[in-house]
């Protein structure tokens, strides 16, 4: 059996830290088992196994809570926290564990249990509501989910806004004030680009409907991934309804894609996106394995990695040129297009109803809409039953579209039915941070040159040193400040968009 890295060269020296890591092992193992069960549910489990799997996962959660609230466990982490001289890893350890404990300690067990129960019940109702375009049947569940979320926010406490307490669950120390500031800058730029990109070339748009054979795209995806550095001994690629990444351990990361049979760029970008979520985990310092620090630091920083590779690298002109011969070899219809036209297809800006299909310009408009609605509900400015109407008017204001149904509107995402209030804004933070990374990298070397010469190792190493290796040691804002020598800012994303879509017009 592999032992925890608790030898003399361990990153952790303090006796309480070392003792803590010993007693943390069963919790690590529970997480390991739960991750594998979740991955299996989405990939290979026969469909009838769903009920028992849900029971197994919820029992593991109960066990996890018990271990977290064990008296000796709590005393040890408290002793560690009170130590005067801790190194950065030990400080990170106490910070991350106390954050996980906060929800168990501050929110009464009864409230958490009822919240879990209502989200479990809400998910099938939401699926049904979405399939039948019937917001009314989902409404009472959503009402309870928002009420519980508000109650949980009150228990967790906040200084200015109840939403702050919920946002912090996904993006540590990031508040309404932060997101208001970021959106205020990026929304006008996105809207301006949309206005300028009204005319869409029919020939380019036609690529969205070109059919492909699954085997051809599987081959393309594997070649692209292997070029980017896919490690077969530590990663798997499978198929699932919704592409995702599941970390099992630092040496076992699973990613998925899907094949829709047309609009071939989607499956390629799902692969690239998820691969870089995986790479973040794989490049974490192995000395952090078996500890709570062996994970990406936040949803936003994680998303910045996948967005960096999907948008900044994958949608760049040099990357298009690089993969064009491969595309042309496998897909006959590509031969009617130049590499420049494929670049335009990869970067087509087109308002649509569905967030997950949105391009890099309109994507944040979709997030802003959800952010505004969540915030307004928590402020009690709008009620749950007003969501469809507010959605419509905001969609028209931001994207110039009115969804023909709630299925294509406020019922499209799974997040609310799962109780993930405060999750969406971290997607925008990731997009913004991805552009900031691009500019930071370009201070050190020529990114385009690294891409065109297939020197992806150079980019991987840079990200490993600055972001990945550190796991969750530092809180996200501090990590960015330490690694990029500046705060998180939307300036770079604005410049990136302006340069790509306004100054240099396609």
Residues 431 and 401 sit within 8 Å (Cβ to Cβ): no
Q: Which CB, 359 or 406, lies closer to Mg ion? A: 359
- Output the smallest distance, CB 243 to Mg ion, in A: 8
Which of 247, 274, 360, 374 is an active site residue?
A: 274
- Output the smallest distance, CB 107 to Mg ion, in A: 27
Q: Which CB, 243 or 388, lies closer to Mg ion? A: 243
3-class SS letters over 103-142: HHHHCCHHHHHHHHHHHHHHHHHHHHHHHCCCHHHHHHHH
Identify the bridge partners of residue 255 per DSSP, sorted by sequence position. 237, 245
Residues 316 and 308 sit within 8 Å (Cβ to Cβ): no
Identify the bridge partners of residue 262 per DSSP, sorted by sequence position. 211
- Output the smallest distance, CB 297 to Mg ion, in A: 15
- Output the smallest distance, CB 177 to Mg ion, in A: 25
Q: Which CB, 207 or 361, lies closer to Mg ion? A: 361
Q: How far apart are CA 140 and CA 143, in angstroms?
A: 5
List the one residue out of 454, 504, 136 whose CA is nearest residue 325.
454
Q: How far apart are CA 378 and CA 160, in angstroms?
A: 12
Identify the bridge partners of residue 81 per DSSP, sorted by sequence position. none
Calculate the CA dihedral of residues 210, 212, 218, 220 and round it to 10 degrees. -50
Q: Which CB, 314 or 388, lies closer to Mg ion? A: 314
Q: Which two tokens stand for residue 299?
A: 């949803």
- Output the smallest distance, CB 303 to Mg ion, in A: 5
Of 27-35, 84-92, 298-306, 467-475, the window that binds Mg ion (rule: CB under 5 A) is 298-306
List the one residue out of 427, 484, 479, 489 whose CA is nearest residue 178.
489
> Which contiguous run of DSSP H or E holds residue 83?
none
- Output the smallest distance, CB 217 to Mg ion, in A: 20
Calculate the CA dihedral of residues 306, 311, 312, 313 and round it to 10 degrees. 80
CB closest to Mg ion, residue no? 306
Residues 231 and 282 sit within 8 Å (Cβ to Cβ): yes
Of 54-62, 216-224, 301-309, 467-475, the window that binds Mg ion (rule: CB under 5 A) is 301-309
Q: Which CB, 361 or 384, lies closer to Mg ion? A: 361
Q: Is 360 in the active site?
A: no
Q: Which CB, 368 or 423, lies closer to Mg ion? A: 423
Count of Cβ atoms closer than 10 Å to residue 364 Cβ:
26
Strand ranges inside 184-319, DSSP E: 235-239, 245-249, 252-257
Of 216-224, 303-311, 436-444, 479-487, the window that binds Mg ion (rule: CB under 5 A) is 303-311
Q: Which CB, 177 or 356, lies closer to Mg ion? A: 356
Residue 306 in the binding site for Mg ion (CB under 5 A): yes
List the one residue out of 492, 29, 494, 9 whose CA is nearest residue 292.
29
Q: Binding string to Mg ion for residues 250 to 289, with x set by CB under 5 A, is what?
A: ----------------------------------------
Q: How far apart are CA 297 and CA 275, in angstroms?
A: 17
Q: Which CB, 14 or 305, lies closer to Mg ion? A: 305
Question: How big is the site for Mg ion, counted in residues (CB under 5 A)?
Answer: 1
- Output the smallest distance, CB 283 to Mg ion, in A: 17
Of 108-116, 163-171, 306-314, 467-475, the window that binds Mg ion (rule: CB under 5 A) is 306-314
Of 278-286, 299-307, 343-351, 406-414, the window that binds Mg ion (rule: CB under 5 A) is 299-307
Q: How far apart are CA 465 and CA 470, in angstroms?
A: 8
Residue 490 CA to chain centroid, in angstroms? 18
- Cα dist from 478 to 30, 91, 155, 292, 298, whole Å: 29, 13, 26, 18, 12
Strands 245-249 and 252-257, sheet pairing: antiparallel
Of 41-49, 68-76, 300-308, 372-380, the window that binds Mg ion (rule: CB under 5 A) is 300-308
- Output the smallest distance, CB 86 to Mg ion, in A: 33
- Output the smallest distance, CB 466 to Mg ion, in A: 19
- Output the smallest distance, CB 274 to Mg ion, in A: 7
User: Which residue reads 């351990």 in tokens?
Assistant: 249
DSSP letters along 308-324, please? IIIIIITTSHHHHHHHH
Q: Which CB, 267 or 306, lies closer to Mg ion? A: 306
Residues 368 and 183 sit within 8 Å (Cβ to Cβ): yes
Residues 338 and 300 sit within 8 Å (Cβ to Cβ): no
Binding site for Mg ion (CB under 5 A): 306
Residues marked active site are found at: 274
């Amino acid at each position: 059996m592999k032992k925890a890295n608790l030898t003399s060269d361990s990153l952790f020296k303090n006796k309480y830290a070392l003792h803590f890591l010993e007693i943390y092992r069963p919790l690590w193992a529970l997480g390991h088992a739960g991750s594998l069960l979740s991955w299996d549910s989405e990939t290979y489990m026969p469909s009838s196994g769903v009920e028992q799997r849900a029971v197994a996962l919820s029992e593991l959660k109960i066990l996890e809570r018990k271990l977290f609230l064990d008296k000796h466990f709590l005393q040890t982490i408290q002793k560690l926290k009170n130590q005067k001289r801790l190194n950065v890893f030990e400080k990170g350890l106490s910070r991350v564990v106390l954050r996980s404990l906060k929800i168990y300690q501050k929110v009464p067990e009864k409230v958490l249990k009822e919240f879990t129960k209502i989200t479990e019940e809400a998910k099938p109702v939401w699926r049904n509501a979405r399939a039948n375009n019937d917001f009314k049947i989902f409404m009472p569940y959503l009402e309870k989910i928002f009420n519980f979320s508000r109650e949980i926010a009150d228990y967790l406490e906040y200084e200015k806004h109840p939403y702050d307490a919920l946002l912090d669950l996904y993006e540590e120390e990031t508040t309404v004030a932060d997101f208001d500031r970021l959106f205020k800058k990026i929304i006008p730029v996105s809207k301006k680009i949309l206005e300028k990109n009204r005319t869409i070339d029919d020939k380019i748009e036609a690529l969205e409907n070109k059919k492909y054979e699954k085997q051809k795209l599987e081959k393309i995806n594997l070649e692209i991934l292997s070029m980017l550095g896919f490690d077969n001994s530590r990663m798997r690629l499978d198929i699932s309804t919704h592409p995702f990444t599941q970390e099992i351990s630092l040496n076992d990361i699973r990613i998925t894609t899907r094949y829709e049979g047309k609009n071939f760029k989607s499956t390629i970008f799902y692969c690239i996106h998820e691969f870089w979520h995986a790479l973040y985990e794989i490049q974490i310092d192995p000395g952090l394995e078996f500890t709570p620090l062996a994970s990406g630091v936040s949803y936003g920083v994680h998303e910045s990695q996948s967005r960096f590779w999907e948008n900044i690298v994958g949608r760049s002109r040099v990357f298009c040129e690089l993969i064009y011969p491969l595309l042309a070899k496998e897909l006959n219809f590509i031969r009617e297009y130049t590499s420049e036209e494929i670049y335009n297809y990869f970067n087509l800006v087109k308002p649509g109803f569905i967030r997950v299909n949105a391009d890099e310009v309109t994507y944040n408009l979709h997030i802003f809409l959800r952010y505004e609605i969540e915030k307004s509900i928590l402020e009690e400015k709008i009620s749950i039953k007003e969501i469809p109407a507010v959605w419509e008017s905001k969609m028209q204001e931001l994207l110039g579209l009115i969804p023909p149904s709630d299925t294509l509107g406020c019922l499209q995402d799974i997040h609310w039915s799962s109780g993930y209030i405060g999750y969406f804004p971290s997607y925008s933070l990731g997009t913004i941070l991805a552009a900031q990374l691009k500019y930071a990298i370009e201070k050190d070397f020529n990114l385009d040159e690294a891409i065109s010469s297939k020197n992806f190792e150079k980019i991987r190493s840079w990200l490993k040193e600055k972001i990945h290796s550190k796991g969750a040691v530092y809180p996200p804002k501090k990590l960015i400040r330490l690694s990029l020598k500046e705060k998180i800012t939307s300036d770079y994303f604005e410049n990136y968009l302006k340069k790509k879509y306004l100054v240099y017009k396609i």
